[in-house]
Chain A
Amino acid sequence: MWKILKIAQREYLDVVKTKTFILSILMTPAIIGVVIFFSSRTQRSVTGPHPPRKVVVADLTNQMTDDIKDSFEQHNKSHPQRQILLQELLTDTGSDKPIKQKVRDGQLNAYFVLDKDSIEGTGKIQSFTRSTKIIDLELISNVEDLLNSAIFNRRCKLKEVSQELLAQISELRRQVLNEIIDIGSASEQKRINKGEQIAKTMASFFFMFMMFMGIFGMGQHMLTSVIEEKNSRVIEVLLSAVSPFELMAGKILGLAGISLTVMSLWSVAAIGTAYYGAAHWWKITLEFPMGILPYFVIYFILGFLLFSSILAGIGSICNTLKEAQSLMMPISFLFILPMLVWFNIAQHPDGSLARILSFLPPLTPIVMTLRLAVSQDISLLEVFASIIMLALFVPLVMWLAAKIFRTGVLMYGKRPGLREVLRWLKSA
């Protein structure tokens, strides 16, 4: 056991101490944090103060000067932080060349031309901008609204619609708010905010993703480590001191340690950011399904053992990383499969697809984590059945992998074919 621990320790330090590892570990949550922070900043800047926009309008109907001016004034009064300055109000387009030039130069944000028959006919608004950035599109739609409300006012005046009637109509058009209530979980009724609903889905995705990264992320390290030892012939010195099984066990243990380190760092960072962000920026309360944590740990350990022993076996029969990666393809696909159908599973955690995938051992950890995170209705029986099934499958795979590892790790030259590997399994 001491030897296994020593090998695990070396493996752990070998990876953890490299600068690239430290950078990638720190950078990933840092990048996520920065992205969330800036996305919240830009969101605030949408509602926050803007520098005033400058526009010019050409009213070819030549009868809405007051309406348009009123419209802009009202807007600027009710939106003090996003002023739209009507710099000039023309009545014809004869001399608008310098104005278009100003738009090109950036001195003006936009220039609008209202067609002659806009009030009674099918005239259009033409908007001239320099480049349609998102922020310009917002301005254009604002001005469009302003001009339309000016036209609406003009039309009302022409039809002699009274102000009282207008007020009544707008009162009649008032929308009814919708409120979603979750009565599924307990007697306690809970109002569901749309943001919280999204957050819940994201949390389940987060758990699944952590499981995926935790199991899968160390694969590359396992392959590199085995193949490097094989190529540098360290393996011969190692195996003169420890048994192949001890070596493999030590490697798996060391990498599991790295994986746990990464996951805990990321989880703390992600959950912390999410809670803080949810409370401060989106004004919602987050509820992580913390109850699944024990299951998460069990599934993680079993899944990690399964995947890393398969990789140790693969690494042992290959001489280059390239060879190993081509062999890994089908196995990777098996583990990635749940990621491809995660949305379906998240929507129907009790559906037959979710149920079937739960009992395919390589998929069990990821699928079950997702299901447990999404729904509280998964029966304990199903949970335990899947765990037992996985727990029976893992030692079998480890045993086979250890046999391949033992022979493969000391083989050089041509990669053995499937028949050769099967012969090893039979012989020892």
Chain B
Amino acid sequence: MDALVLENVSKSFGDVRAVDKLSVQVPAGSVYGFLGPNGAGKTTTIRMIMNIIRPDKGLIKIFDDGATTQNKARIGYMPEERGLYRKMKVGKVLAFFGAIKGLSASELNFRVPQWLQQVDLTGWANKKVEELSRGMHQKLQFAVTAINNPDLMILDEPFSGLDPVNQDLLKDIICRMRDEGKTILFSTHVMHEAERLCDFILLINKGKAVLDGRLDDIRSRYKSGAVSVELEGDTSFIRALPMVKTAETQGRRIEISLSEKADTQDLLKALVGRVRIKAFEVKIPSLHEIFVRLVGRPEQPVVSEVEPGRRGRDNVEDS
């Protein structure tokens, strides 16, 4: 089941195409990352999902059939620009938003302290929102988004402005919610955040999907075939192995580049027994590298090559 489906959604502001024929399927129970540089169309897409702005064309379906308006109680939304009532007390703000999201008074009595504790703001319950630091404000905003335990969380840049400790706190909560079967969609322009958290990613640039799919698949598809090993013994035979294209000694390590189609496991098997293996590292391309490879040269047409089996249609138009 898909928690969210976008079909050929487009939106223009004047002459600028903010989002161009974007199609996405967000499977239920996954963590889905919208990645892309500033101005790529991430926020516009999220705002269209939230029915804040209307798409010029295309279809947005939430929980298979419904529109956003019918599923408000099941969606938690955290906008990019954080806003809460500055003069209200932290606990009161949380209770208010819980109430308008349909929680009963008894549920609120239980959940407000629970969420304050989860985002580490218990001591601040009676302070005014304006007294919070930026990071605390953001954690409160997250608690506001999650207070009614929504099935689908849509978070716009949830980690910006958080220190590493609080980023981890938020990631832990997100992972736990995923384990409970919730769907979490978030946008970020920081690739390594997505790398550590996402099951699926959508890479957007200039309003178009550049790359879309399961993160593991994308990585293996964009693997560079590079292995870094640290060995003891005579290593001169390596260069002669059939799967090895080049091998360079760099200090104690040997950087091996495999020929196409070769499997890293074959290399490992060939090494075992002949030398003592102290380290064997398959170099996984980072999202950052993939992203630079795909959009770093904007003149080239970008073609989607991800998971043709999972998806029948083209996600990306030729530019």
Contacts and interface: CB of A to CB of B under 8 A. Distances in A.
A361 B221 CA distance: 70
Interface stretch (B73-81, B199-207, B212-220, B257-265): B73-81
A2, A240, A242, A410, most chain B CB atoms within 10 A: A240
Interface string A231-244: 01111111111110
A241 B97 contact: yes
B50 interface: yes
A339 B99 CA distance: 42
Given A233-B79, A410-B53, A238 B84 contact: no
B72 interface: yes
Nearest to B78: A237
Interface size class of B (residues with CB under 8 A): 20 to 34
Contacts of B141: 237
Contacts of A232: 83-86
A234 B96 contact: no
Interface string B44-59: 0000001011000000
A403 to B, nearest CB: 14
B50 A14 contact: no
B69 interface: yes
Range of interface residues on A (Cβ < 8 Å): 20 to 34
A240 B50 contact: yes
Contact of A236 (B50, B76, B87, B97): B50
B100 A235 contact: no
Contacts of B97: 237, 241
Nearest to B99: A6
B87 A233 contact: no
A234 B85 contact: yes
Contact of B83 (A3, A236, A410): A236
Given A241-B72, A243-B69, A233 B88 contact: no
A237 B144 contact: yes
A325 to B, nearest CB: 22
A134 to B, nearest CB: 48
Contacts of A3: 99-100, 102
A232 B88 CA distance: 13
B96 A237 contact: no
A233 B69 contact: no
Contact of B84 (A7, A14, A234): A234
Interface of A: 2-3, 6-7, 10, 14, 18, 229, 232-243, 410
21 contacts: A3-B102, A10-B88, A14-B85, A14-B87, A232-B84, A233-B79, A233-B81, A235-B83, A236-B52, A236-B77, A237-B145, A240-B72, A240-B75, A240-B76, A240-B77, A241-B72, A241-B101, A241-B102, A242-B100, A243-B69, A410-B53
